Amino acid sequence: MSNDIHFQEDAASITDPKGFYAAASHADVRKKKDHRLDTGLLFSRPPCSAAGVFTKNAVKAAPVLQCQRILKLDTPVHGIVVNSGNANACTGEQGKKDAIAMQKTAEEACLAPADSFFVCSTGRIGDLLPIDSIKEAISSSGEAIRNGATVGSGFAQSILTSDTKPKTCTASFRFDGNQVTVSGVAKGAGMIQPNMATMLAFITTDIQADSSQLQSVLSEVVQSTFNAITVDGDMSTNDTVLVLANGQSRCSLNAASEVLFKDALFRVCDSLADKVVSDGECITKVVELLIEGAASVKDAESIARAIGNSLLVKTSWYGNDPNWGRLMDALGYAEAQIDQEIIDISYEDTAVLVKGTPVPTNKPVWKRIVSEPRFSIKINMNLGEGGFRLRTTDLTEGYVNFNMSE
C-alpha cells in the first residue's frame, strides 16, 4: 500500500469527492413509525461514468436487474436512489414497476433522466414496497439536494438494515497537481457471503474515467475485498457494488494514475468489507483465514470457504476453543486437492500442525489466541502456489435468536 494515499474513516462522507450531493428521508418502509431514515438519494450534476458488480444469485431482485440494464446502456449516470427495509425481491411485475417508479421520482426531483439513476433496495424478501411513501421521501431528498445537501451521514444511515452502525471511508491522493478523492458507504450484517459484492456498497470518485476502465479496476479490487468475506454463507438476492466517477478532479484514469487510483479504491473497498464483517449479526470475533500452498487459487478459496462457513468451526471459535480437528474436517470436504500428511496449520504464528503432526504442547498459546476478538489462522497445504484470504466470523446464539423472528 502506498504512503501517498490519505485515508480517513472518521467524518468520511460519500460526498467527499467534488460535485456529489446526498440526502435521506423517512418513508416508514418498515411500518414502524420510528422516523428512521430509510430512503436515500445520491446525485452528481456533472454526468458520471459508472461500473458495477452484482450478486451471482440466480434469483435477482427487481432493482438489481434494473441496475444491470442501466450499466449496459453505457450512457451518463447522475446518481443512485435507494431504500432499506424491503428488498423488492420476488415481487414479480409490480416489483419492476416500483423500481422504475423510484427512478422516475428521482428524475423529477433532480431534473436528470430516469435511467441515469441506479436503483437499489435491501431488506426483507417477498413483500411489495410501500411505493407512495417512498416516492414522497425521494422528492423530499431531491429538495434537500437542490438546496445543496453535502452531508453524507444521513445517506449512510438510510441504507442500513440490521447493521449497528454506518460504514464510510474516504481515500485521496494527489496526482499531477490534482487532488483525487474516492469515497464509499456500505451496509451488511446478515445474508453475507457475497460472490460478487456485499449487500450494498456505493463508491463515488471525482477521477475522470470511462466506464470500461472503471469496470476493470472495480472487478479486480472487489475480488479480494467484498468477495472475500463471509458471515453466514448466505448470498443475497440484492448484492450490489456501484462506482460513480464524475471527473471533477481534472485527473484522468490512465496507465500512470492507475496505480494510485487502484490503491485508493482497494483501501476503500477493503475497509468497507472489513466493517461489514466486523458488524456481522451478533458476532463476537473476526477471523482471517490465510490459505497458502494450495494446488490452485480456486482450491485455496474452496478450502477457506469450507472452513469459514463450517458451523462446527464457527461455534468452536465462539467458545474460545482451538478445535483444530474441525478445521481439518472442513478442509477435507472442500473438494480441493489435499494431502493430510503434509499440512501445516498455525494460529497466528504458533504451530498447531507441522506436516500433519500435532504440536499439543502449544495448546495454552492456541487457547489464548482464539480467545481474542480478532486473530488469523494460517494454513499451508504445501502442494503449490494457490493462496486466498477470507475474512469470516464466529457463530453465536445471538445470531440464531436474531434470525428466528421476522
> Contact 314/193 with Cβ under 8 angstroms?
no
- Cα-flanking dihedrals φ and ψ of residue 115, to 5°? -80, 10
Measured between alpha carbons, how far is residue 58 from residues 100, 149, 237, 238, 248 in Å?
21, 37, 8, 11, 37
Smallest separation (angstroms) from its own copies to the CB of 31 = 15
405 forms part of the interface with its own copies (CB under 8 A): yes
> Contact 55/149 with Cβ under 8 angstroms?
no
Smallest separation (angstroms) from its own copies to the CB of 333 = 4
Catalytic residue at 198? yes
Helix intervals (H) in 250-349: 255-278, 297-309, 311-318, 324-332
84 forms part of the interface with its own copies (CB under 8 A): no
Question: Which one of 112-120, 134-142, 163-171, 336-344 is the stretch in contact with its own copies (CB under 8 A)?
Answer: 336-344
Query: CA 32 to CA 25: how far, in whole Å?
Result: 15
Smallest separation (angstroms) from its own copies to the CB of 42 = 26
**Active-site choice (198, 204, 225, 230):** 198
- 170 forms beta bridges with 8, 183
Q: Cα–Cα–Cα angle for 79, 85, 86, nearest 5°?
A: 85
Q: Which of residues 132-171 bind its own copies (CB under 8 A)?
A: none
Q: Which of residues 172-211 bind its own copies (CB under 8 A)?
A: 190-191, 195
324 forms part of the interface with its own copies (CB under 8 A): yes
Smallest separation (angstroms) from its own copies to the CB of 49 = 30
Query: CA 207 to CA 222: how far, in whole Å?
Result: 18
325 forms part of the interface with its own copies (CB under 8 A): yes
Query: CA 312 to CA 31: how far, in whole Å?
Result: 37
372 forms part of the interface with its own copies (CB under 8 A): no
66 forms part of the interface with its own copies (CB under 8 A): no
- Whether the CA torsion 359, 364, 365, 370 is positive or negative: it is positive
- 201 forms beta bridges with 186, 241
Nearer to its own copies, 264 or 276 (CB): 276
Pick one of 2, 212, 254, 340: the residue that binds its own copies (CB under 8 A). Answer: 340
Q: Which of residues 23-62 bind its own copies (CB under 8 A)?
A: 56-60
Contact positions vs its own copies (CB under 8 A): 56-60, 87, 89-90, 92, 124-126, 190-191, 195, 232-237, 309-312, 315-316, 318-319, 321, 323-326, 328-334, 336, 338, 340-341, 353, 356-358, 395-397, 399-401, 403-406
